[in-house]
Amino acid sequence: MNKQSLQKSAASGLVFGIIVIFLALIGFTVVFSGLIQKVLGQSLGVGQIPRIGNFFIFLGFLGIWNGWRAARQDSHESLTLPKVLLRAFVAGLSAGVLVMVYAVVVGGLDARGVDMRTYLSMLSSDSIKFFLFNQSVAMGGLIHVGFSTLMAVVGGLLAFGSEKSQEQVKATRTKVQNWSQRTWLGKVQGNPYVSYVLMGVVLLLLVLLPRTWGAYWNYVMGTVGIYVLLGLGLNIIVGLSGQLVLGYVAFFAIGAYTFALTTSPEPHNLVWNFWIALAVSVVAAALSGVLIGLPILRLRGDYLAIVTLGFGEIIRILLKSDLLKDFTMGPRGVRNIAGPTLFGRSFTSDVDYMYIIILAVLLSVFLAKRWQESSIGRAWLSISQDETVAQATGVDTYKYKLLALSLGAAFAGLGGALFASRNQFTGPEDHALMVSINVLCLVIVGGMGSIPGIVLGAFVLKGLPEILRELESYRLLVFGALLVVMMIIRPEGLWPARRPKLERPVEPDQEPAAVAITVGGKQ
């Protein structure tokens, strides 16, 4: 047993201790224990302190994880029982002792009547007592040490067990694979009709779901759909052509405001038809992409990011300013934006909007796929890989970057117009920097350059926060942590892009004369 591995265990234990202390400091321990209580089906009033047992479950989970991690330091070595136990014990003990020190300090201060809330708003006397399991300071600290160590050892044992059973798992997996290939499952895989059937099921769901799941989910999923549009557009700019544009929201705003100003009775009294206004918004956004791109696309990397960041903010501030108040209604925003009409009927219910957004998403996915898989997409990708070399290979980088920016902007314009129409309102604050950041996040989380990745990313980024609503104010914290974890586990994105297989076999007798003719001859 070497000293180094024990040091490692102790260090990883200390990290877990720090995590526990951090979570306690921000009051997360109480909220999460409450959540566990709710999940277990027990009621919990607002502002009530949950039962201690749930805190044990929470701590136990962290402790097991701690022990597991400490036990499996190196994936190559084979584990032995005493090794595992010792490591987990050390890790659990060091985490527990650290937590105990914290508990004693905070508990002691609290016992002396110091109000910790002056410093950290979440450290009420109740939450400190909760952290000490409603015991005395010394007793609470000792329970922390004991429980942490115990759970770490359990975690270590679990790690040991899983290591030993791994081979069995592998054997079972190949057995299942063999079985599935022999039976009908093997025939289903790789059968082209299967994908048609799947597509049909998805289409059926897309038709049926908006009617059944209610206004709230239509709203949430409509937002997801609009973000899919934005993601597809930004994917062309960032994921394919590799230009880090941080002011993407500007095109969203231009689309939304073009639509708003052409369909609202105020301020211009242009009450255009929905579909015409929609097309005009898309074109306006695309044109603005060209106009902005002309001067700035000679910049690269960080400089481009900074300039476009500024551009996004300028648009928002302009929309808000007194200067354009008569034109854009200033900070009040534009109201009474028109809804869609067709053959004299208006479609303005949440279900109708959901259908329109679904149609827009399907159309955009189709177009984005076409471009991505074409020679245009190839040229974009080459620019993102090495711009200098792409140009020297004959790619007109300036033209292609401009094209990427304007096509990407067109998607944002479509998203913006639908967004404004659905809300019947748009104001400058709808177009803040966070939109750009969110869209960039969803492109990266989903997988750069991958269309299914974008769709998945939009669901995760815009749908997950809704699911996490139970966590109240810790929603964004957990969300951020999940994003970090996701990026650690899958750095290339949830659904990374794949390259197509294109090589065609060459008949030997055609060589090398054919090449000589085509390469030297087509001049």
Partner 1 sequence: MKTVLETRHVSKIFGGLVAVNKVDLVVPEGAIASIIGPNGAGKTTLFNCISGFYKPEIGQVLFNGESIHGMLTDKIAAKGIARTYQNIRLFKNMTAVENIMVGFEPHLEHGWVAAMLKTKGYQKEEKYIIKEASHLLHYVGLAGLGDHLALNLPYGAQRRLEIARALANQPKLLLLDEPTAGMNPQETDDMKNFIRHIRDDLGITIILIEHDMRVVMDISDQISVLDYGQKIAEGTPKEIQANPRVIEAYLGPGAAALSEKYRKEKTHDA
Where on the chain is the footprint of partner 1 (CB under 8 A)?
367, 370-371, 374-376, 378-379, 381-382, 385-386, 388-397, 403, 407, 499-506, 510-512, 514-516, 518-520, 522-523
Residue nearer to partner 1 on the CB measure, 198 or 392: 392
Residue nearer to partner 1 on the CB measure, 85 or 290: 290
Which residue type does 266 have?
Answer: E
Residue nearer to partner 1 on the CB measure, 345 or 522: 522
HSE value, Cβ hemisphere, 13 Å, CA-based, for 469: 5
Candidates 59, 62, 31; CA nearest to 126 is 31
For the chain, helix (H) and strand (E) counts, in that order, are 23, 4
CA dihedral (395, 445, 457, 236) in degrees, to 10, reads -10
Q: Phi first, then psi: what are they for 440, rounded to 5°?
A: -60, -45
What's the min distance (Å) between Cβ of 135 and partner 1? 57
Q: For the packed helices 375-385 and 350-372, what is the interaxial angle rounded to 10 degrees?
A: 80
What's the min distance (Å) between Cβ of 438 and partner 1? 25
- Burial label for 468, CB within 10 Å (0-12, 13-18, 19+), is middle
d(CA 377, CA 371): 6
What's the min distance (Å) between Cβ of 517 and partner 1? 10
Residue nearer to partner 1 on the CB measure, 336 or 510: 510
Residue nearer to partner 1 on the CB measure, 127 or 406: 406
Q: Phi first, then psi: what are they for 74, rounded to 5°?
A: -125, 125
CA dihedral (328, 331, 334, 335) in degrees, to 10, reads -160
Radius of gyration (Cα) for the chain, nearest Å? 29
Residue nearer to partner 1 on the CB measure, 124 or 391: 391
Residue nearer to partner 1 on the CB measure, 308 or 397: 397
Residue nearer to partner 1 on the CB measure, 472 or 511: 511
What's the min distance (Å) between Cβ of 404 and partner 1? 10
What's the min distance (Å) between Cβ of 426 and partner 1? 29
Contact between residue 316 and residue 322 where contact means Cβ atoms under 8 Å apart = no
Residue nearer to partner 1 on the CB measure, 147 or 495: 495
Candidates 15, 166, 11, 151; CA nearest to 79 is 166
What's the min distance (Å) between Cβ of 248 and partner 1? 20
Residue nearer to partner 1 on the CB measure, 344 or 512: 512
What's the min distance (Å) between Cβ of 397 and partner 1? 7
| E strand or H helix at 425 | strand 425-426
Local structure of residue 388 (DSSP, 8 states): H
SS3 76: coil
- Burial label for 40, CB within 10 Å (0-12, 13-18, 19+), is exposed
What's the min distance (Å) between Cβ of 408 and partner 1? 12
What's the min distance (Å) between Cβ of 209 and partner 1? 29
What's the min distance (Å) between Cβ of 512 and partner 1? 5
| E strand or H helix at 342 | strand 341-342
Taking 3-state DSSP, the helix, strand and coil percentages for the chain, each rounded to the nearest 5, stand at 75, 0, 25
